[in-house]
Amino acid sequence: MKKFFFALLLLFTFSVYGQHKGQYNNPILAGFYPDPSICKTGDDYYLVNSTFAYFPGLPIFHSKDLVNWKQIGFAMDRPEQLDLEGAGVSRGLFAPTIRYHDGLYYIVCTLIDRGGNFIITAKDPAGPWSNPTWLKEIDGIDPSLFFDEDDKARPDDQVGRAYFIYNSIPPGNKSLWDGHRTIRMRAFDYKNLKVTGEEKLIINGGTDISKKPVWIEGPHVYKINGLYYLLCAEGGTGYNHSEVVFRSKTVEGPYASYENNPILTQRDLDPKRADPITTTGHADLVETPGGWYAVFLGCRPYEDNHYNIGRETFMAPVQWKDGWPIINPDYKEVQYHYPFPFSSTKKYTPKYSGNFLYRDDFNKTNLDYNWQFLRTPKEMWYSLSEQNGLMIKLLPQTCSGKNNPAFLGHRQQHLKGYASTSLNFSATSQNEKAGMLIFQNENHFYFLCKSIKDNKPVIQLYKSIADNSGKMELLQSQKLLSAGKLKLKIEANGNTYSFYYSDKRKWNLLKAGVDAKFLSTKVAGGFVGCMYALYASSYGTVSAAKAYFNWFEYKGNDDVYKNGK
């Protein structure tokens, strides 16, 4: 009985370090949770993030106090909603916005390379969400919705107009400098889910075109105290990322840039500072009984702007000065801890921030929300119904391709920590391999696996070759003492990974000090973060083999939370 309750407890994520009394941890969603958007209905707050080529798409989080978050579902969890076949890892779903109006929730988003912009709706944010309604008239990305609920400026229109705002091309499709973009707006018929009227150019270039600002994007409009505020990201998604704000007396402008823009950035700080948070921007605002807050993306590099865990969701207070919002007003650096937004918050049990331990014994009827497929599954190649835990069939598809391999990913959420699993698998050919990946994209991953060589079981460590060939380089191989169960572990330590196995009781080091920068965004490119993935492939051949994963364990151990920064 004690073992049962202990296992049940470990199924949930819980904080180990960083419990500052009366304060929450940043990031509030650790790991690959970029492009946050937030909305409020009553006493409930809902947040959504980009997922690119991972399925299900667009995770939905809920909170009552902005610090205790729980994932309640995905907005796009059905194959008929989202087909990601052929999408590169950093393509797919870009930058959603979630809004609520008159009893209905709306998400607008962009499916890059195939559908363009779309809108989905739900009466309950936990789902089900509708199939996409495609908005072919919109040529751009980073869409947002704004409901002007008391707009009576046009007597011929119904009270409560809506607007669709987005990043788009320069006028005449003629860029005056590299990164020249615009923010545009169209009226939106939210009852019939279609754009109407003429396209309006509301921002051309950015805050100060004499300085040739780049990549004005991520727009959100708010009406506050009778004025319209346009919040945008500027500077690109890298180190120079920032958040800027404009203001107007009318929704269509003209919008004046705040003279003290940007209202959030970390680009001017010493890059050699301890435990840096960088790349901050792409923000969304929400009002609470205790004041305004902003959610935004940021990164935590371990060295020279190398980071593997992707862009994460942070939160900071907002202060209004002379009618303008300022994010993180009391500090230059984004902080790892801030006071609770709600003084009534007594219990803080973060599931996605600070250092925590997560364990899945695969004893539920459905996969936990932490798991993600790489693209949309075309067949049921896994099962939770068997006694051995999670069963994965070996598919001929590989993680180097652009279809759906037998891959279940869990985000790397810390600079330091580990992921481990128990594997029961017997290969019948050298092509059959099963184990665990640490995966950034199709060309940048390490694969710790069990296979056979000369008809004998072996443990192998491969490194992908970054040339689009799909080939791998064998870094290390070791004969196993038996063909039975095996434990695997990948340990992250900032700029290195170490790989372990155990076919007895103790962990054996297969290879230490493996270059983690190979999987960093700076080297690998793209917009995602690393995934620890349970993975099995027969590498182009048809196989009847199956791999069984009895449990999976993840633990974060970042110094910043242990040391209480």
- Which sequence positions are flagged as catalytic? 35, 217
> Which 8-state DSSP code applies to residue 518?
G
CA torsion through residues 142, 39, 18, 326, sign: positive
Say if residues 282 and 95 touch (Cβ distance below 8 Å): yes
CA distance linking residue 48 with residue 73, whole number of Å: 10
Q: Extract the runs of DSSP E, i.e. beta strands, from 205-355.
A: 217-224, 227-234, 242-248, 256-257, 264-265, 278-288, 291-299, 312-321, 324-327, 337-339
Rg (CA), the chain: 24
Task: Give the Cα separation of 233 and 470 in Å (integer).
Answer: 36
- For the CA atoms of 556, 91, 238, 326, what is the dihedral angle to 10 degrees? -80
Contact call for residues 450 and 461 (beta carbons, < 8 A): no
In sequence order, the 6+-apart residues with CB closer than 8 A to the CB of 515 are: 495, 496
From CA 118, how far away is CA 135, in angstroms rounded? Answer: 5
Question: In Å, how far are 181, 257, 551 from 202, measured between CA atoms?
Answer: 11, 12, 53
User: Does residue 27 have a cis peptide bond before it, meaning omega lies within 30 degrees of 0?
Assistant: yes
- Which tokens go with 251? 């929704």
How many angstroms separate the CA atoms of 124 and 103, rounded?
9
Strand pairing class (256-257; 242-248):
antiparallel
Task: Give the Cα-Cα-Cα angle 330, 333, 335 (nearest 5 degrees).
Answer: 80
DSSP state letter for 2: H
Query: How far, in Å, are 27, 71, 492 from residue 413 at the CA level?
Result: 10, 16, 10
